[in-house]
Amino acid sequence: MTTGTRLAQRSLERVVETFAEGKPYDLFFLSVRGARLVGRKTEAAYPGPDRADRPAERLKCGLVEAHMLLGVAEREQVAEDHVAVFYRPLAEAEKAALFAEAAADPLTDLYHPYAQLGDRIREAAEAEVGGWEVTEERVRELDHAEAVLRDYVPERLAWLGFDGGLAYDAACSTGAFLAAVGHRFPAARTVGQDLSAEMVAYARPRLDEAHCADSIRPAIPEGGADLVICRHLNAFVVGTRQAHELFAAAASRCRPGGYLVLLGHTPILISSQWCEMSGLRMVQRSAATPSGHALFQCYILRG
């Protein structure tokens, strides 16, 4: 009897998240060994046990861990006031084994299908854009929230063969992420863009260039970048339709054979399948922390 058969014979349970009181955007799916697993995101160890230089803390972020898995998903039902996911539960040992397999495969599809909450949330997010109040405390919060992602991406790019050129961040925020790329690749020219004038002023000393403009109109020529970074196509940052428009604008700046990286502190609103349908080659969909204790979304594509 195969593992898939054994899993399918479990009794069904379900989890219900209401739009009004619950958080359906915390539900995630993970494809492993031919099975589609469902989980609910809670606090994760951050920066994690692999960061011995800092004490671990529990933080609700882009990281998911094995204990967050619920079981094998059978069906989802979206109603007017809730999302119901029917699943067959997993034992803790099974969760750990399946999660370890997912962590070992960078093409593992980790996704959050219920990321958006509707116009009310999008309006609130859009109202904040351009209105950042840049303080040292706020900068520390923003930079800390991406520490795991910022540590991972430059090293992964080096492993994949990226060695420099023009690196463009379409929403550079404090500039810390793009500066980490520049530090890892001294030959790279770092060009950042952000809608917030205050953020651009803060990021400018960290980068070779920084432009204040809406990323729907990229500050670099079409096909001019060897690396395009998108950290703004995420839930609670933009709406789904806007994310696709911004993705198209950013992708047009990547040269043939260049790299595009999509990731963020909250769920990516664009599916990896959509990226492939756009003519890009998917190199990876997810990444694991060095210890393997957690997974996070990280799309790396080639133009």
Which CATH number characterizes residue 174's domain? 3.40.50.150
Check whether residue 89 and residue 174 sit in a common domain.
Answer: no
Q: What is the pLDDT of residue 53?
A: 56
Does residue 49 register a pLDDT over 90? no
Tokens of 60: 């609700």
Tokens of 15: 């989890």
Check whether residue 82 and residue 212 sit in a common domain.
Answer: no
Neighbours of 281 (CB within 10 A): 12
Does residue 274 register a pLDDT over 60? yes
Residue 302 inside a domain? The answer is no
Q: What is the pLDDT of residue 138?
A: 80
Give the model's confidence band at 250: pLDDT under 50 very low, under 70 low, under 90 confident, else very high.
very high
Residue 101 inside a domain? The answer is yes
Average pLDDT, integer, range 87-105: 95
Does residue 68 register a pLDDT over 80? yes
Q: What percent of the chain has pLDDT over 70?
A: 83
Check whether residue 43 and residue 141 sit in a common domain.
Answer: no
Average pLDDT, integer, range 210-216: 96
Check whether residue 66 and residue 108 sit in a common domain.
Answer: yes
Q: How many domains does the chain have?
A: 2
Q: Does 144 or 113 have the greater pLDDT score?
A: 113
Check whether residue 108 and residue 136 sit in a common domain.
Answer: no
Residue 289 inside a domain? The answer is no
Q: What is the pLDDT of residue 52?
A: 52
Residue of 56, 25, 23, 20 lying closest to 265 (CA atoms): 25
Check whether residue 162 and residue 203 sit in a common domain.
Answer: yes
Q: What is the mean pLDDT of the chain?
A: 86
**Whole-prediction pTM value?**
0.88
Check whether residue 147 and residue 170 sit in a common domain.
Answer: yes
Q: What is the pLDDT of residue 197?
A: 93
Q: Whole-angstrom Cα distance, residue 150 to residue 277?
A: 27
Check whether residue 264 and residue 198 sit in a common domain.
Answer: yes
Give the model's confidence band at 275: pLDDT under 50 very low, under 70 low, under 90 confident, else very high.
very high
Tokens of 156: 């992964």
Residue of 247, 201, 191, 251 lying closest to 223 (CA atoms): 251
Secondary structure letter of residue 230 according to DSSP: E
Q: What is the pLDDT of residue 11?
A: 66
Q: What is the pLDDT of residue 55?
A: 57
Check whether residue 88 and residue 163 sit in a common domain.
Answer: no
Residue 134 inside a domain? The answer is yes
Residue 297 inside a domain? The answer is no
Q: What is the pLDDT of residue 78?
A: 83
Check whether residue 137 and residue 214 sit in a common domain.
Answer: yes
Q: What is the pLDDT of residue 19?
A: 46
Residue 202 inside a domain? The answer is yes
Exposed, middle or buried: residue 282 (CB in 10 Å: 0-12, 13-18, 19+)?
middle
Check whether residue 85 and residue 141 sit in a common domain.
Answer: no
Of 67, 98, 114, the residue at which a domain comes to its end is 114
Q: Whole-angstrom Cα distance, residue 4 to residue 33?
A: 8
Q: Does 294 or 60 have the greater pLDDT score?
A: 294
Check whether residue 41 and residue 148 sit in a common domain.
Answer: no
Q: Domain containing 70: what range?
A: 3-114
- The pLDDT tens digits of the residues spanning 113-137 come to 986 555 444 444 444 444 557 788 8
Tokens of 50: 């692999």
Q: What is the pLDDT of residue 135?
A: 80
Average pLDDT, integer, range 265-277: 92
Strand, coil or helix: what is 102? helix
Give the model's confidence band at 107: pLDDT under 50 very low, under 70 low, under 90 confident, else very high.
very high
